[in-house]
A and B are shown apart, each in its own frame.
Chain A
Amino acid sequence: MNHENASSLKKKRMRIADSVLYFLIYLCAFLSVMLLAGIIVYVLMRGAGTVSLRFLTSVTSVLKGTVGIAGNIVNTLMIILLTMLAAAPIGVGAAVYLNEYAKPGRLVSVIEFATETLSGIPSIIFGLFGMMFFGQTLGLGYSLLTGSLTLLLMVLPLITRNTQEALKTVPDSYRSGAVGLGAGKWYTIRTILLPSSMPGIITGVILAIGRIVGESAALLFTAGSAKTLPKTLAAIFPKIFQSGGTMTIQLYLSATSEGDFDTAFGIAAVLLLLVFVINLAAKCLAAKFDVTRKK
């Protein structure tokens, strides 16, 4: 009798512990979702009053009395373009080497170690290195080019890894088929492997663009903070060698030294929407071309 009582008591206690843990698990998941919802609602509410066509297409000027981020948008776009022009081919090339050419050995493990390490280095260190190496040693100073070269190193692992994953899903029969038909390795890569893994490559590129859009610490001491707009279309090229702040940098400056929180929230709203769209695009693409999904 006594024994039975004790065991049923214990059972009861366990159930209480269980429900407490269930409650905590639900609470944590709920917290994460509410956090995101809160951030979105608050940023959009505070930013909505600032964001307008004028805000997006004009440059902040005391003389004209305008507040706008057109210059920062152009800088962001130029940095994305410059970075990806180099990062996409190099990242894909590295993945092709690792997956198609390299034989397992010392070089491969060193390259993989380096790629892993690179992806673990925080952006402030990239910024410091970019400032010292590209900015001072190579004499590029504070410029969009310095910023792009710095970001190139930062996003390289992202593209390499996504391409590698994509190349791994290309069936080996494609390769042996091509070899059997007499195609060389480069020909196979160019006409079969790269097209087959294009979705993975594009996903990597989109994710890298997302990283660049949100990046700030690596750009503060490399690309600088200028916000002027190139006056003519022809002035865009020399702009590469001039300082230019992206949207994130302007947000940081607006919220700290300039104390202009309306602009800061305006930029935050634009950035938030941009980053979400980029993420959604990457996700849709990945889902659409996922070969492992069940039909």
Chain B
Amino acid sequence: MEKKAGINTVETAAKYVFTVCAVIAILAVCSITFYMIAKGTPAFASVGVPELLFGTEWKPTAEDAKYGILYIILSSIAGTGVSVLLGVPIALLTAVFLTEVSNKNLAAIVQPAIELLAAIPSVIYGLLGLMLLNPVMYRLEKLIFAASETHQFTGGSNMLSAILVLSVMILPTVVNVSASSIRAVSKDLRAASLALGASRIQTIFKVTIPAAKSGIMTGVVLGIGRALGEAMAINMVAGGAVNLPLPFNSVRFLTTQLVSEMGYAEGTHRQVLFAVGLVLYVFIMAVNLTLQKMRKGALDDES
């Protein structure tokens, strides 16, 4: 009888321990959200919402300090947008190759290659961008702006380099998600299309991809999230000036602003950096919520 009571205590204790483990995820999300808001909002009060969000001047250490982060926000949006536009078609065609075109042997080379691309640390992408991409950009820059008197030369650290690095970095995410959603398309659909006389390519682009659309869109949104949140790699290739997001301008993103200035910022400057973090967090949460809504929608469609 006594033993039985002991077992029951252990069973109850185990249940509580497991519950606590599961609740930690909730605690983490809540406290991250709380801290981002608590630390990010004071700057909006001290600098002013329009001055902060729509100001175009960033002079945190000047006598008359200016904390406008509009260009930083625009750079993040433009950089993410263009890199997704560039990376997604390549990723989608690679996914088509893996699932519809390739034979087993070739897929056995391409699939692991994609997985390994995903595993490469972002600092290595940054290092390669710095050593290989930036010199090419500098040569292009010298050619294009040879006659310009207003252009500030960046030595090749520019928006374009960051976009190229980002589009490579989102590739594996989009390929994997797209490939698995293309694989999930029913064989009957393809067979029906082929039986109607459509070629394989027509079937892929007119039947299979439209059928896998929601899964592919999920991949694209995941890619947007990744590009938006990437920090170290693009910090190494994008230069360090707060500028309009033009291809050959040295630019700052929301993430790189944090990486490069958090180490030494003080006072209001530091507060504003937390506000930059909050803006980034809001963007990321919007992407996350869209993603979860899409996934839920996909589940509802299936059932």
Contacts and interface: CB of A to CB of B under 8 A. Distances in A.
Given A124-B229, A255-B127, A276-B119, A156 B24 contact: yes
A93 B284 contact: no
The secondary-structure label for the interface of chain A is helix
B4 to A, nearest CB: 10
Contacts of A215: 121
A213 interface: yes
A235 interface: no
Contacts of B168: 35
Which among A25, A42, A93 has the greatest number of chain B C-beta atoms within 10 A?
A25
B74 interface: no
Interface stretch (B7-15, B45-53, B243-251): B7-15
B231 A128 contact: no
Contacts of B136: none
Given A22-B101, A39-B128, A120-B287, A32 B175 contact: yes
B256 to A, nearest CB: 9
B116 interface: yes
A43 interface: yes
Contacts of B15: 101, 185-186
A93 B123 contact: no
Interface string B166-195: 001001000100000000000000000000
A261 interface: yes
Contacts of B119: 210, 214, 275-276, 278-279
A129 B201 CA distance: 48
B23 interface: yes
Contacts of B259: 124, 217, 220
Contact of B97 (A25, A37, A251, A256): A25
B120 A33 contact: no
Contacts of A202: none
B94 interface: yes
Contacts, number: 238
Interface in A135-191: 153, 156-157, 160, 184-187, 189
Contacts of A111: 22-23, 25-26
A129 B32 contact: yes
A118 B28 contact: yes
Nearest to B93: A28
B71 interface: no
A290 interface: no
Interface stretch (B60-68, B107-115, B138-146, B147-155): B107-115
Given A31-B90, A272-B124, A261 B17 contact: no
B140 to A, nearest CB: 20
Interface string B1-39: 000000100110011011111111110110110011001
A124 B231 contact: yes
A268 interface: yes
A115 interface: yes
A164 B146 CA distance: 59
B122 interface: yes
A113 interface: yes
Report the contact-size class of chain B (Cβ under 8 Å from the partner). 35 or more
Contact of B128 (A31, A43, A121): A43
Interface residues of A, number: 87
Interface in B247-303: 255, 258-259, 262-263, 274, 277, 280-281, 284-285, 287-288, 291-292
Given A132-B35, A213-B121, A93 B22 contact: yes
Nearest to A24: B93
Contact of A186 (B14, B98, B199, B205): B14
Interface string B84-119: 000001110110111001100010011011111101
Nearest to B274: A128
Nearest to A252: B123
A131 B168 CA distance: 29
A186 B7 CA distance: 9
Interface string A273-292: 00110110001000000000
A73 to B, nearest CB: 15
A122 B263 CA distance: 19
Interface of B: 7, 10-11, 14-15, 17-26, 28-29, 31-32, 35-36, 39, 89-91, 93-94, 96-98, 101-102, 106, 109-110, 112-117, 119-124, 126-128, 130-132, 168, 171, 175, 199-202, 205, 225-226, 228-232, 236, 255, 258-259, 262-263, 274, 277, 280-281, 284-285, 287-288, 291-292
Interface of A: 14-15, 17-18, 21-22, 24-29, 31-33, 35-37, 39, 42-43, 46, 89-94, 96-98, 100-102, 110-111, 113-118, 120-126, 128-129, 131-133, 153, 156-157, 160, 184-187, 189, 210, 213-217, 220-221, 248, 251-252, 255-256, 261, 264-265, 268, 271-272, 275-276, 278-279, 283
Given A17-B201, A32-B110, A97-B19, 7 more contacts: A33-B109, A101-B18, A121-B32, A129-B32, A133-B31, A184-B7, A268-B127
